[in-house]
Amino acid sequence: MPKLAKGLSAIEVKRLTKPGLHAVGTVAGLRLLVKPTGARSWVLRTMIGTRRAELGLGGYPTVSLAQAIEYAREALQDIRAGNDPAAERRAKRTAVEWTFQKTAEAYIAAHRAGWKNAKHAEQWGNTLQAYAYPHFGAKHVRDVSKADVLAAIEPIWSTKNETAVRVRSRIELVLNYAVQRELRPEGLNPARWRGNLDAALPRASKVAQVEHHAALAIDGMHAFMQRLRKAEGLGARALEFAILTAARSGEVRGATWAEIDLQEAVWTIPAERMKSGRAHRVPLSDRALELLEALPRFEGVEYVFPGARDKPLSDMTLTAALRRMKIDATAHGFRSTFRDWAAERTSTSNEVAEMALAHAVGDATEAAYRRGDLFEKRRALMTLWAIYIDIDTEMCTRKVRQFRDRAHR
């Protein structure tokens, strides 16, 4: 049996970066293999009968030190019982034909619980079905090459660049998953961008054409809001609420009464419903509160804007409201109008305006030190926005004056 080395802690293992095999102790023969590329994986060196063997126990840090120790002990127990873990693994791999498609499906199933919603998993499957599977979906995952990846993404790299970038990234993740599952040998991932595909394709920024959401001009908001407030239907009310709060359509459509505090005039959107993955507080103007208080509430229905069968309204409901009004704009486009208004018609700082839109402000370091969310400044901004888009010019002037008087007390 291999000599038992001194047991290392998880921190000590993390610091092992020199290429080579490093004994980590606790279990005889357990090693951390550090490759010149920086990739690290667990290896158990032992004897199976009269044959020296090296058993892969998974990549680090996906497999932690504690897990590697557990896997190594289980493997040694199997060997002492007369089994050959390496042979069993080979038999399992050959028994199942791990095509790229099967591996991708396994990846999606393994990560589904960590994704925000079922739609994300559906998008994963749909993009791979449309662009990757026709080229190499039936090919064993170990044999997928750079030529295969290029065959899938090169035809759409210039015409559907955003989609092509996502497909490339998803292929890369599936192939990384295959390496961790020992379905594919370690080495350069053929779907990796830097130092690989970047030599074959132009940067996304050079070919991608940014498509802006159609937005209404700032000066057109008064007349539009007057028409919108006369429009009937829950879709029109949801759209008005989205405009008043500068929120995304999905955030509005998924809003529940439990998220809204009418007394404090604040709507708190939980992290799992936010694009950023962070909870977001939205200050509610007087008009937004009036709109909410006028909405019908149904027993047992949690949504503020319920659709059919007690589900949220569909995105098309807001779009339909705009189409009926014959307005060439999208629900999301009103966020752009709000941002233009804040920049051009107010003295609001860029930081406050971006936070009102729930955008990330500054880099990761700056964000780590920021504790506040500038809520009171954002409340003042949203109050001014509601006043600006008010239906009556005279009333608008009076409200602005009243607001300024309160602010200077």
* Domain CATH number, residue 403: 1.10.443.10
- Residue 2 inside a domain? The answer is no
- Residue 144 inside a domain? The answer is yes
Mean pLDDT along residues 169-188: 91
Q: Rounded to an integer, what distance in angstroms lies between the CA atom of residue 191 and that of residue 167?
A: 10
Q: Rounded to an integer, what distance in angstroms lies between the CA atom of residue 402 and that of residue 296?
A: 30
- Looking at the fold, whether 369 and 295 belong to one and the same domain comes out as yes
* Cβ atoms 58, 68 nearer than 8 A: yes
b/e map 270-289, b = 16+ CB within 10 Å: eeebbeeeeebbbbbbebbb
- Residue 242 inside a domain? The answer is yes
Mean pLDDT along residues 234-248: 94
- Looking at the fold, whether 88 and 114 belong to one and the same domain comes out as no
Mean pLDDT along residues 343-359: 88
Q: Rounded to an integer, what distance in angstroms lies between the CA atom of residue 286 and that of residue 348?
A: 20
* Cβ atoms 144, 74 nearer than 8 A: no
**Residue at a domain's end among 61, 76, 94:** 94
Is pLDDT at 293 greater than 90 in this prediction?
A: yes
**Residue at a domain's end among 94, 128, 163:** 94
The CATH code of the domain that includes 45 is: 3.30.160.390
pLDDT band at residue 398 under the 50/70/90 scheme: low
- Looking at the fold, whether 71 and 112 belong to one and the same domain comes out as no
- Looking at the fold, whether 20 and 139 belong to one and the same domain comes out as no
Higher pLDDT: 260 or 215? It is 260
- Residue 4 inside a domain? The answer is no
Q: Rounded to an integer, what distance in angstroms lies between the CA atom of residue 356 and that of residue 284?
A: 12
Is pLDDT at 393 greater than 70 in this prediction?
A: no
Q: Rounded to an integer, what distance in angstroms lies between the CA atom of residue 252 and that of residue 238?
A: 7
Which pLDDT score, from 0 to 100, does residue 301 have? Answer: 87
Mean pLDDT along residues 214-238: 89
Give me the amino acid identity at 124.
Answer: W
- Looking at the fold, whether 150 and 25 belong to one and the same domain comes out as no
- Looking at the fold, whether 139 and 272 belong to one and the same domain comes out as no
- Residue 261 inside a domain? The answer is yes
**Residue at a domain's end among 207, 237, 257:** 207
- Looking at the fold, whether 242 and 351 belong to one and the same domain comes out as yes
Around Cβ 381, how many Cβ atoms within 10 Å?
24
- Residue 78 inside a domain? The answer is yes
- Rounded to whole angstroms, the maximal C-alpha distance in the chain is 95
Lowest-confidence range among 44-58, 264-278, 354-368? 354-368
Which pLDDT score, from 0 to 100, does residue 216 have? Answer: 86
- Residue 3 inside a domain? The answer is no
Q: Which residue has the tokens 């995304």?
A: 248
Residue 372: exposure state from Cβ atoms within 10 A (0-12, 13-18, ≥19): exposed
Number of independent structural domains in the chain? 3
The CATH code of the domain that includes 196 is: 1.10.150.130
Q: Rounded to an integer, what distance in angstroms lies between the CA atom of residue 43 and that of residue 68?
A: 9
- Highest mean pLDDT pick, 42-56, 148-162, 280-294, 321-335: 280-294
Q: Rounded to an integer, what distance in angstroms lies between the CA atom of residue 389 and that of residue 283?
A: 17
pTM of the model: 0.52
- Looking at the fold, whether 235 and 165 belong to one and the same domain comes out as no
- Looking at the fold, whether 124 and 31 belong to one and the same domain comes out as no
Which pLDDT score, from 0 to 100, does residue 368 have? Answer: 44
Which pLDDT score, from 0 to 100, does residue 123 have? Answer: 83
* Cβ atoms 215, 336 nearer than 8 A: yes
Q: Rounded to an integer, what distance in angstroms lies between the CA atom of residue 383 and that of residue 292?
A: 16
CA angle 310, 314, 316 (to 5 degrees): 150
Residue 274 structure tokens: 């936010």
Percent of the chain at pLDDT > 70 equals 85
Mean pLDDT along residues 267-292: 90
- Residue 360 inside a domain? The answer is yes
Cis peptide before 2 (omega within 30 of 0): no
Which pLDDT score, from 0 to 100, does residue 402 have? Answer: 64
- Looking at the fold, whether 254 and 201 belong to one and the same domain comes out as no
Which pLDDT score, from 0 to 100, does residue 395 have? Answer: 60
Mean pLDDT along residues 106-122: 79
Is pLDDT at 88 greater than 80 in this prediction?
A: no
- Looking at the fold, whether 368 and 267 belong to one and the same domain comes out as yes
Which pLDDT score, from 0 to 100, does residue 217 have? Answer: 87
Instruction: For residue 63, give its domain range.
Output: 10-94
Higher pLDDT: 262 or 84? It is 262
Mean pLDDT along residues 2-6: 64
CA atoms within 13 A on the CB side of 331: 24
Which residues of 270-312 form beta strands (DSSP E)? 280-283
- Looking at the fold, whether 246 and 392 belong to one and the same domain comes out as yes
Which pLDDT score, from 0 to 100, does residue 369 have? Answer: 42
Mean pLDDT along residues 358-385: 73
